[in-house]
Amino acid sequence: MTAAGRPAAVPFLPTLTAVPPILSLKNVSKTYATGTRALDDISLDIQRGEFVVLIGLSGSGKSTLLRCINRLVEPTGGTIVFDGVDVTKAKGAELRNIRRRIGMIFQQFNLVKRSSVFSNVLSGRLASRPLWRSLVMRPTRDEVAAAFENLERVSIVDKAYARADALSGGQQQRVGIARALMQKPVVMLADEPVASLDPATSHSVMKYLEEINKQDRITVICSLHFLSLARRYGTRVVALKGGKVAFDGLPRDIDERRFKEIYGEDAVEVEIGVGRTAEEQGMSATEAALRAMAADPEHGMITDFGKDR
């Protein structure tokens, strides 16, 4: 109350509207022709800016889930909505446009072995080129510049004219990352990107994924075998078991009991390098969304992470 007895004015506080997820999966299932039920009623909302790590035993559904997102594998049921567009109903040009905005990194690299590193990276722009330019294999000046820029980002520009099959596994995976970046993706899918690599090289590749997540605000969804890597790099962990979600939360919340529930009573956790401190172990989905919005000019009221103006 004021001295005159009138109610004091309430200061204006800007409201933060709900941020729609960049990716929403509702009751997604996949049953293969053999009768194997790889995914069983999966529902997940993934926010912009998250680094989501999928963990679980081999055969738990991690790769199938990733490939359903960009329709490399057709889901049997449910819906997948990417940035407001129903992926499960998309066809033709609409599906191609969706795939252009979702990069993918593969366990076995999927490079053209006899082609140069430069050519492999340029192939990341094929879906965005006019057909005639792809047929005559003439990249634009901007495409050439982007290829070298992305090779520089993953510290392999010196190998630009080497054949892909002359590189080590870690180098080939870095080429795969550079190729995916050529798409200018909003979401990056990484299917067991370090499964074939030694621990030191695994950290090197994961740090590049962490960098594009933090610097470019690209949402990363990455499947991994090792929980220690999930704790170190993920802002959120989703564990699959028998095609179902067995855990969905912060990396630090997976204690020994939950580990046994996910991997089995006889499983032993293997450490791959040094994990994060308790303070560093992940953000909530809301915090990740706020971080992404903080740098988005369309949300001008937020000029610093977690602070309103």
Residue % of the chain over a pLDDT of 90: 65
In a domain, 205, yes or no: no
pLDDT for residue 136 is more than 80:
no
- Give 12 or 309, the one with higher predicted confidence: 12
- Give 260 or 71, the one with higher predicted confidence: 71
Are 227 and 307 members of one domain? yes
Lowest mean pLDDT of 18-22, 70-74, 166-170, 279-283, name the range: 279-283
pLDDT level of residue 299 (50, 70, 90 thresholds): very low
Taking a C-beta distance cutoff of 8 angstroms, is the pair 269, 228 a contact?
yes
pLDDT for residue 19 is more than 70:
yes
State which residues form the domain around 133: 109-184
pLDDT for residue 165 is more than 90:
yes
Are 193 and 274 members of one domain? yes
Are 192 and 302 members of one domain? yes
Mark which of 184, 208, 242 sits at the end of a domain: 184
In a domain, 250, yes or no: yes
In a domain, 203, yes or no: no
Are 254 and 157 members of one domain? no
Q: Return the pLDDT at 298.
A: 40
The string of pLDDT tens digits covering residues 36-48 is: 999 999 999 999 9
Q: Return the pLDDT at 225.
A: 87
In a domain, 3, yes or no: no
Q: How many structural domains are present in the chain?
A: 2
Angle at CA 294, nearest 5°, toward 293 and 300?
90
Residue closest to 85 by CA, chosen among 76, 73, 96, 74: 96
Residue 242, phi then psi, degrees to nearest 5: 60, 30
In a domain, 301, yes or no: yes
Q: Return the pLDDT at 126.
A: 79
Residue closest to 25 by CA, chosen among 73, 93, 88: 88
Are 59 and 191 members of one domain? yes
The string of pLDDT tens digits covering residues 220-270 is: 999 998 888 999 999 999 999 999 999 999 999 998 888 888 888 766 666
Quick one: tokens of 149? 């820029």
In a domain, 162, yes or no: yes
pLDDT level of residue 137 (50, 70, 90 thresholds): low
Are 96 and 145 members of one domain? no
Lowest mean pLDDT of 61-65, 119-123, 181-185, 284-288, name the range: 284-288
Are 145 and 191 members of one domain? no
- State the CB neighbour count (10 A cutoff) for residue 259: 17
Are 151 and 300 members of one domain? no
What is the arithmetic mean of pLDDT over 266-293? 50
Residue closest to 178 by CA, chosen among 197, 157, 195: 157
Are 192 and 277 members of one domain? yes
Are 193 and 163 members of one domain? no
Are 76 and 179 members of one domain? no
Are 96 and 192 members of one domain? yes
In a domain, 4, yes or no: no
pLDDT for residue 14 is more than 80:
no
